[in-house]
Amino acid sequence: MDHHHLKRDVHTSHTERSSGVSEIRQVQNVAFADATAKANVRPWTKAMFKLYLCLFLATLNSCINGYDGSLMGAINSYSQYREYFGFNIHEGTPTTGIVYAIYTIGNLAGSFVAGPATDFRGRKWGMFIGTAIIIFGACIQATCVNLGGFMGGRFVLGFGVAITSTAGPAYVSEMAHPSYRGVCTGIFNTFWYVGGIPGSFVPYGTSDIPGSQSWRIPIWLQMVFAGIVLVCSPFLPETPRWLIANDRHEEALDTMARFHGEGNRDSPIVKLEYKEMVEDISVTGSDKRWWDYSELFNSREARYRTMLVFCMAFFSQWSGNGPVSYYYPTMLQGAGINNNHTRLLYNGMQNVVSFAGAVFGAIYTDSWGRRPQLLVSTALLVFIFSMICALVATNLRTGPDGKPIYVDGTGTPEIKRPGQAKVVIAFIFIFGFTYSTAYTPLQQLYPVECLRYESRAKGMAFYNFWVNIANFYNTFVTGIAFSRATWKYYFLFIFWDIFEFIFIYFFFVETRRRTLEEISEIFNAKKPVKHSLNKTRIIMHGNGRGVTEMLDKEEVVERDFGKRGKERDSAGSEGRLVVGRRNSERDGVVRYEMAEWEDEETRGGST
Question: Tell me, what's the pLDDT at 184?
Answer: 93
Q: What share of the chain is helix, strand, coil (3-state, %, to 5)?
A: 70, 5, 25
Among 79-88, 326-335, 345-354, 434-443, the minimum mean pLDDT is found in 326-335
Average pLDDT over residues 427-450: 93
Question: Tell me, what's the pLDDT at 102?
Answer: 87
Question: Tell me, what's the pLDDT at 37?
Answer: 82
Contact 41, 167 (CB under 8 A): no
pLDDT tens for 351-401 read 789 889 999 999 999 999 999 999 999 999 999 989 988 887 887 777 777
pLDDT band with cut points at 50, 70 and 90 for residue 604:
very low
Burial of 132 (0-12, 13-18, 19+ CB in 10 A): middle
Question: Which residues fall within 8 angstroms of residue 235, CB to CB, at 6 or more apart?
Answer: none
pTM for the predicted model, two decimal places? 0.77
Question: Which residues fall within 8 angstroms of residue 363, CB to CB, at 6 or more apart?
Answer: 183, 186
- Mean pLDDT (the chain) is 81
Count the neighbouring beta carbons within 10 Å of the beta carbon of residue 193.
30
Among 111-120, 244-253, 556-565, 589-598, the minimum mean pLDDT is found in 589-598
Q: Which of 230, 68, 245, 192 is nearest to 444 (CA)?
A: 192
Question: Tell me, what's the pLDDT at 197?
Answer: 84
Q: What percent of the chain has pLDDT over 70?
A: 79
Among 114-123, 380-389, 571-580, the minimum mean pLDDT is found in 571-580
Question: Which residues fall within 8 angstroms of residue 539, CB to CB, at 6 or more apart?
Answer: 6, 22, 23, 24, 547, 548, 550, 579
CA–CA distance, 329 with 342 (Å, rounded to integer):
9
Average pLDDT over residues 30-56: 89
Question: Which residues fall within 8 angstroms of residue 208, CB to CB, at 6 or more apart?
Answer: 214, 341
> DSSP E strands: which ranges in 482-558?
536-540, 547-550
pLDDT band with cut points at 50, 70 and 90 for residue 323:
low
Average pLDDT over residues 449-475: 88
Residue 598 bridge partners (DSSP): 576
pLDDT band with cut points at 50, 70 and 90 for residue 434:
very high
pLDDT band with cut points at 50, 70 and 90 for residue 573:
very low
CA–CA distance, 78 with 286 (Å, rounded to integer):
47
Question: Tell me, what's the pLDDT at 288?
Answer: 66
Contact 359, 467 (CB under 8 A): no
Q: Which of 76, 522, 125, 132 is nearest to 308 (CA)?
A: 522
- Domains of the chain and any CATH numbers: 298-512 (1.20.1250.20)
| Model confidence at 590: pLDDT above 50 | no
